[in-house]
Structure 1
């Protein structure tokens, strides 16, 4: 079933070929147009056009995911925040601006906001909490230190 992408300009309908291309790029975002064409038995021009259309429409974005353990930031903390309802957007925006914060989500349920934060040393964690305490609207928070990261990958299903 085709799903429109709602965004700037006309919606783009994803077909099976788009889904196959996205599947290949999820495995290797640096795959050449030539390799995409070979794997899907397409002309290279078609592969180039389709990939560029997916990128330009912002249906697909390709990025590198650094490994925190090899970059000197091996400590990850998950923080769940209880925030005043009228301050949720302002708190989330403030959290996005903090360099150590890697993930911010406004959530429904027990907590209002969930964040992931990366540190190299415990002193950096203390500095982060000092910043957190300066943000108005936070009622309280709970933190969990990640002891062993087994998977950090978001896979979105294309229906």
Structure 2
């Protein structure tokens, strides 16, 4: 069953996206409801897995300054197996199934060009992979985790 996120839930999510350390007291003042209401709604959002609490790392601040998007072609009927192998490659931070010529797309964020090359070689060693198209990211202008506006 899909949980319907209402206006108050949206408000809580939006405030937390702007400042993940905002107190329930400040949230209640901002959204003009009681602190108890905020606590209950917050717990519900967590329990329903609509909201998760994570530390987001600034990749540049920890020396990860290079990135690439890699499109992957695979042998017929092997997408699931390739996904399992891709999950084992640590620098891969995003895997998705796509439409079009390349059914898989991964994104990596690494320290330098040499590490991109290592990852490409690792992917190429997966038996069911038939072709790769690597797109080097030159500059990132927006990278957000804000899904509800």
| Fold shared per TM-score above 0.5 | yes
Q: Distance in 2 between matches of 1:23 and 1:85?
A: 42
1:150 pairs with one of 128, 135, 141: 141
TM-score by length of 2: 0.90
What SS is found at the alignment partner of 1:13?
coil
Correspondence for 2:31: 40
Q: Counterpart of 2:132?
A: 141
- CA apart distance, 1:46: 0.7
Per-residue CA deviation, residues 111-153 of structure 1 (Å, 9 max, x unaligned), is 2011111221333223222211221211101011111111112
**1:26 and 2:23 are equivalent in the alignment:** no
For structure 2, the residue ranges without an aligned partner over 5 or more in a row are none
* 1:9 paired residue number: none
Unaligned runs of 5+ in 1: 6-11
Q: Would you identify which runs of 4 or more consecutive aligned residues in structure 1 move more than 6 Å?
A: none
Shift of 1:62: 2.7
Residue 82 of structure 2 corresponds to which residue in structure 1?
A: 91
Relative contact order, CA 8 A, sep 6+: which one is greater?
Answer: 2
User: Are positions 1:60 and 2:41 aligned together?
Assistant: no
* Residue 101 (structure 1) shift: 0.5
Match of 2:114 among 123, 126, 135: 123
